[in-house]
Structure 1
Amino acid sequence: MTTARAATILLLLVVAACAPRQLPQLPPPPVVAPSGDLRLWPNRDAIQSACLNDLAATGAEFELIAQAQPGKGGCTLVNGVRLIRTGVPLNRPVEVTCPLALRLMQFEREVMQPEALRVFGKPLGSINHAGGFNCKRMTGNGARISEHGHGRAIDIWGFTLADGTRISIADHFRARGREGDFLRQVSRQACRYFSVVLGPNADASHAKHFHWDISQWKRCGA
């Protein structure tokens, strides 16, 4: 072998050793994402995805839940989420539709929190509810399914301020002073955000809580 040929072979071996090796293609890693991350649910329809994107953008904490099968009473939960907190925690997670969760988030940010700061000089610490999705009939009209039966309603019994002060509809709605002022103002403003607003001024069935829903009907019983 000539010196020139040997040098060429040596050069080719050095180049081959330095060249990057082709690695086998690996499957993508599993997605580990925070609750509410839309990558976990890539097949949602466009409307639902838009709502979830809007809800996630607000900073709300939530989990996506499977669509509930129709129950014996015709109750369903479509486009549902388990809402854990808006800008503040809920006393416990609540299952509602994404549109209702988004509306509640907007109402907390635009009305409830500013009102708490105005009246008490302190922010809200939590929103205390008595339930969202619940298969039951409408109060006063047993022939119709309640909006709770479709996750389009939520019942609120009170609030807690950041310093631990508790405010309840049952104890303070008709009271004089800051607590009553706050609750009555929140109830009135709710009519701009929700379709049906019921409370102590509406009927005896809502003497101890607010009912807010996004049904096709319209009633302001604040």
Structure 2
Amino acid sequence: MTKRTGRRRILYLAASFFSIIVFLFLVGSAGYVLLSHPKSPLPDHWNPLRDLSVTAPVTPVTSYQLTRALADEALCRGTLSDAGVTFDAMEDLTIDPNCGIVGRGLLSGLTIARVDPVETSCTTTLRLAMWEHHVVQPAARDAFGSGVAKLRHIGSYNCRRMRTAQGENSRWSSHARADSIDIIGVELTDGRNLTLLEDWQGTGSKALFLRHIWRGACDWFRVVLSPDFNHLHADHFHLQGPGWGYCR
């Protein structure tokens, strides 16, 4: 191969590489314009540039939209309001570096189910609303032909350290920042009540329903603990937002 031929080949490869870069840039730009246009033909729940809707169908884009809403308090509150969730704004609570609530509010109603009023964070409420709408309500309709009228809980915020089977841990609980909520059961719209303490064990419809919604909670919370975890959780689900990912 002569020097001239070698230079020609290098120039050809460089030109080809530049052409590919330009092509990808144009395709990306066209895609962005298509996605960001107010009249984009792509449904919002498939569009990563659109905000999360709690009641929209779940798609591969939902996780990204949820992450963005969790990181922006104003967006989080707006998303809850659009879904009809009753989450009355309260001033942030600051006790010390370990205890307090950022994005604080009083939760009393989800998309359908009501809850006894509880102080918690916007992020915990948003995760709970996604679980209620996409897991709990459909599972109840499938299992019992009835929706869930009420989610029963035993609180969210609690300025305390972690509790383990061996006693109190030196680490602070996620409850100390209202990053979790404990659910003890549900009340169906037909009046029936299900509790983890009484209905978790067995193979009947109530136990199967509770295990189904436990597994489904793992799609919306990073740490989910059930009665199978230890005796401290015999009567409730521990649903926690932050964490490395644990479902037991």
- TM-score clears 0.5: yes
Which SS does the other structure have where 1:184 is aligned? helix
Spell out, residue by residue over 1:53-88, the C-alpha distance to the aligned partner (whole angstroms, 9 max, x if none): 1111111011111111224x8211111111110023
Residue 49 (str. 1) matches residue 74 (str. 2): yes
What is aligned with 1:84? 108
Q: 1:123 aligns with which of 147, 156, 161?
A: 147
Q: Which amino acid aligns with 1:86?
A: L
Distance in 1 (alpha carbons) for counterparts of 2:247 and 2:203: 22
Q: Which amino acid aligns with 2:84?
A: G
What is aligned with 1:150? 177
Spell out, residue by residue over 1:2-43, the C-alpha distance to the aligned partner (whole angstroms, 9 max, x if none): xxxxxxxxxxxxxxxxxxxxxxxxxxxxxxxxxxxxxxxxxx
Distance in 1 (alpha carbons) for counterparts of 2:146 and 2:217: 20
How far the C-alpha of 1:176 sits from its partner, in A, is 2.6
Q: Which amino acid aligns with 1:51?
A: C
Q: 2:125 aligns with which of 101, 119, 123?
A: 101
Residue 203 (str. 1) matches residue 230 (str. 2): yes
Q: Is the 8 A contact 2:150 2:187 kept in 1?
A: yes
Gaps of 5+ in 2: 1-70
Q: Which amino acid aligns with 2:79?
A: D
What is aligned with 2:90? 65
Specify the structure having the higher radius of gyration (Cα). 1
What is aligned with 2:187? 160
- Give identity over the alignment, percent: 33
- What TM-score, normalized to structure 2? 0.68
- What TM-score, normalized to structure 1? 0.75
Higher helix share: 2
Q: Is the 8 A contact 1:90 1:129 kept in 2?
A: no
Q: Is the 8 A contact 1:123 1:161 kept in 2?
A: yes
Quote the RMSD (CA, aligned, Å). 1.5
What is aligned with 2:218? 191
Distance in 1 (alpha carbons) for counterparts of 2:243 and 2:214: 19
Which SS does the other structure have where 1:158 is aligned? strand
Distance in 2 (alpha carbons) for counterparts of 1:54 and 1:91: 19
Distance in 1 (alpha carbons) for counterparts of 2:219 and 2:77: 22
Distance in 2 (alpha carbons) for counterparts of 1:218 and 1:139: 19
Report the count of equivalent residues.
Answer: 175
Distance in 2 (alpha carbons) for counterparts of 1:127 and 1:61: 14
Spell out, residue by residue over 1:89-133, the C-alpha distance to the aligned partner (whole angstroms, 9 max, x if none): 434111111011011111111010000000000111100000011
Higher relative contact order (CA 8 A, sep 6+): 1
How far the C-alpha of 1:216 sits from its partner, in A, is 2.8
Q: Is the 8 A contact 2:113 2:148 kept in 1?
A: no
Spell out, residue by residue over 1:168-217, the C-alpha distance to the aligned partner (whole angstroms, 9 max, x if none): 00000113311111001001111111010001111111011100010133
Q: Is the 8 A contact 1:136 1:145 kept in 2?
A: yes
Distance in 2 (alpha carbons) for counterparts of 1:57 and 1:88: 13
Q: Which runs of 4+ in 1 moved over 6 A?
A: none
Q: Is the 8 A contact 2:107 2:115 kept in 1?
A: no
Q: Is the 8 A contact 1:88 1:127 kept in 2?
A: no
